[in-house]
Structure 1
Amino acid sequence: MRLLKNTCAKTLALVLGVVGVTSLSQAGTLEDRIESGETIRLGFAAAPPWAYAGDDGSARGFVNGIAVDVLKRMGYTNIEPVLTDWSSLIPSLKARRVDIVTGGMYIIKARCENMDFSDPIGAFGDTFVVPKGNPKNLETYQDLIDQKLTMVAPSGYNTLADARDAGVPSSNIMEVPGTTEALAALRAGRTDAVPINVLEAKHAADMDENFDISDPEVFVGREKQVVGIGFRPEDSAFREAFNKALKDYMGSDEMMATVTPDEYIKAFLPTGQTTEAACKSD
């Protein structure tokens, strides 16, 4: 009987030990994960040209390209792409299902309250994706209001709040999981416009002859927003090292060779904007 008790006690101790190690690994920093031989998991949604999965499942898009290049400069190559819904990116980071968010998120106050951002990797504005020829001449949120039209945008996109702030009735705003669903609604005639960032809008129009974009210079929304790469607050040391490598990388020939195929041009480079200032913006 004593032998049985001793065996059970040892087994329980072993199980608890394994669980303890696993818990520590899950609760530790990204540096702890790397030191234990685990991958660096990049979390992103299907939002070309910002981020998307290649035919082979690889992390594609210019935000992923920037992240991968900078991580390589830091000496890290054991990288794992994790494709998820846009609305799941920050929850996945907080739940430790991914380690870095490379979805191409604008740096705004609400997001800064839930994760930390790298220094800006670009500055961009918004516009509408509309049916071919822009038959209803949509250029601003006020046009939607005046014509009592509807719009759709992915969950978590700043354009949802921007539209409400501009006075578009909530009943005329649809929210869907991602860009794919938003464009499908426009293609099917279930909505009149998709307000998204200029790069996604241009990509959508280039890829589908049924779409056009409104004039970005006429669109009335927020000022150009800066975009960053997301980290957990407890990974601040890793983020600071990332920023150090990013500083030398931004605007380099290496960077432009990586991002140009995904429609990023030098005009999108940040011009003095900071993450600290962007985090104060709604």
Structure 2
Amino acid sequence: MTPSLTRRRLFLTGGALLGAGIAAPGLLTACSRTETGSGTPADDADLLAKLREQGHVRIGFAGEAPYGFQDGGELAGQAPTLHREIFTALGIAELQPTLTEFGALIPGLLAGRFDVVSAGMAITPERCAKVIFSEPEFVSPTALMVPKGNPKRLTDLRSCAAKGATVGVLTAAVETSYAKAAGVPASSVKALAKQQDGLDALLAGRIDTFALTGISLRWLARTNEGAAVEVLEPFVPVIDGVEQHSPGGAVFRPGATGLRDAFNQELRKITADPARYVRLIGKYGFTEREVPPRTLRTADLCTA
């Protein structure tokens, strides 16, 4: 059963450590909810060598498609697929996954429950104050979902403003501010609770378009195969002259710089080869448009 999409780009806080270990055939030999391992900050300087010696890396994920989820008992999604490729190149053959609430991923990482967060987590200054991120694994250009045939001939949020289109957005999500910056009147922006509500409202004619990341909209269309909708070409919104790329990456404990740096070296090989990038994670809705620009650096995102 395909997991439902969640509002991953909102700022989620709090949350107890409610995660539970899962068994994924071919990926997991042993994983316990109470396992803490020896992933303390004191060990992080030699973490890469330790992981190579033991032959596995413990990852935390949040069960959110298409970023990291279970599919028929197997660990799937953008982040685990990229990370499997990278850790294999680093001499670490096995991923041992722990399913955790999204808000508990960083606390679980810092507590040593796993070594890496594999969840397509957005890189923000608030999170950078607690953990360290890889370089961006993807960017999340915004897109519009429209009725089949695109009757209003929309292209981006500015065209929505020009043509008086009613725009659906997720409650409290960043697309609300993107629409405002593009000139869409507040009265033409309709808040929706979840992604499926956006598609349903579009089909019912209550909105003219649904704005979200292209990644999420393509996945939504895929999980509603046959629905009379289409996803338009993504675009990068601009607020006060700043492009809004919404990048995400892998997450490490602050002391694990050696592991993070080695990870980045292998990640660059993938992002420098768009064909390989799409070959690896294209089935999850990622295209060449999601390949992060070489000029987009985590150090800059952490201080933005």
1:149 is aligned, of 161, 166, 173, to 166
- Residue aligning to 1:107: 123
- Cα separation, partners in 2 of 1:108 and 1:141, compared to 1, 3 Å: farther
The TM-score with structure 1 as length reference comes to: 0.65
Q: Check whether the contact 1:51–1:63 (CA below 8 A) recurs between aligned residues.
A: yes
- Residue aligning to 2:95: 79
Task: Give the unaligned 5+ runs of structure 2.
Answer: 1-34
1:174 is aligned, of 185, 191, 199, to 191
Q: Spell out the pairing of 1:29-178 with structure 2 (5 A cutoff).
A: 31=47, 40-48=58-66, 50-56=67-73, 58-82=74-98, 88-96=101-109, 99-135=115-151, 137-141=153-157, 143=160, 147=164, 149-153=166-170, 158-163=174-179, 165-166=181-182, 169=186, 172=189, 174=191, 176=193
Whether 2:215 is the aligned partner of 1:231: answer no
- Cα separation, partners in 2 of 1:23 and 1:122, compared to 1, 3 Å: closer
- Residue aligning to 1:204: 220
Higher relative helix content: 1
Residues matched between the structures, number:
253
Counting aligned pairs with the same residue, the percent is 22
The TM-score with structure 2 as length reference comes to: 0.62
Task: Give the unaligned 5+ runs of structure 1.
Answer: 1-21
Whether 2:257 is the aligned partner of 1:241: answer no
In the aligned structure 2, how far is the partner of 1:154 from the partner of 1:114?
27
- Aligned residue identity for 2:142: D
Deviation of 1:242 (Å): 1.6
- Residue aligning to 1:19: none
The ranges of structure 1 where at least 4 consecutive aligned residues each deviate by more than 6 angstroms after the TM superposition are 35-38
- Cα separation, partners in 2 of 1:266 and 1:145, compared to 1, 3 Å: closer
Q: Check whether the contact 2:61–2:68 (CA below 8 A) recurs between aligned residues.
A: no
- Cα separation, partners in 2 of 1:114 and 1:91, compared to 1, 3 Å: farther
Q: Check whether the contact 2:125–2:301 (CA below 8 A) recurs between aligned residues.
A: yes
